[in-house]
Amino acid sequence: QHEVGKPLRNCYSLPGFDFAYGLYVKRRDGGVPEAIGHWDTVKARKSKKIMPRDFITMNRGAADAGCTTAREFGLYYKFMDVRLKEEFRLPKPWVSKLPADMTFGRPARPSTPIFDIIHHRYKDLWMERQRARTVVQDLEKKKLEVRENRTTFLRTHPPPAKEESFWHLERFEKVWSTGTPHHNPFCDHSQLSWALQA
């Protein structure tokens, strides 16, 4: 069938049988030439460092050559490219700041006396520590058991002192008459006689 009548392809064709996926690693047989041969070792490549331009030397050379304009200086920089030389510095020797008699690591544990092991001294010490720990825990527990009630609240927050009040109801207040020093509920004798008859 012609290519026009075929459906569209949505996949890639696989490579041939001689195609190797990934990196190709040359197999070695591990024989005598490989054991005694050192000619196939890869030499370390030194990365070439690009140094900046030495404009002092180039300006001096351009002035000696008779350059006066900026274009002439630019052309001189282009054709006479002088770079700074890399300074070779010897690495400083490493000087240790630690003392000469420094011992690394943790110190050794002192030897355990056999007399204390036979007499169970370590068990007794452990039991004493446990008893002391239990006593402290009981004391802390008793301190935490105090509950807040009205009595404890009044001990810490006493009520304010009650101030004496001079206010009374009007009907209980003594009303002094203007004529007599004593109280007279009746204004005249007719009301008094009427009250006594009742």
pLDDT tens digits for range 34-52? 777 656 566 667 778 888 9
The whole-angstrom separation of Cα 96 and Cα 193 is: 128
Query: Do 55 and 90 share a domain, yes or no?
Result: yes
Q: Give the chain's domain count.
A: 2
Is residue 174 a part of any domain in this protein? no
Name the CA radius of gyration of the chain, rounded. 57
Give the domain extent around 149.
114-156
Structure tokens at 4: 């026009």
Per-position DSSP letters for 126-167, written without gaps between them = HHHHHHHHHHHHHHHHHHHT----HHHHHHHSPPPPPPPP--
pLDDT tens digits for range 54-98? 999 999 999 999 999 999 999 999 999 999 988 777 777 877 788
Task: Indicate whether 114 pLDDT > 70.
Answer: yes
Is residue 102 a part of any domain in this protein? no
Residue 127's pLDDT is what? 95
Task: Indicate whether 136 pLDDT > 70.
Answer: yes
Q: Which of the 8 DSSP states describes residue 83?
A: B
Is residue 9 a part of any domain in this protein? no
Is residue 118 a part of any domain in this protein? yes
Is residue 121 a part of any domain in this protein? yes
Is residue 62 a part of any domain in this protein? yes
Is residue 87 a part of any domain in this protein? yes
The pTM (predicted TM-score) of the whole model is 0.27
Is residue 120 a part of any domain in this protein? yes
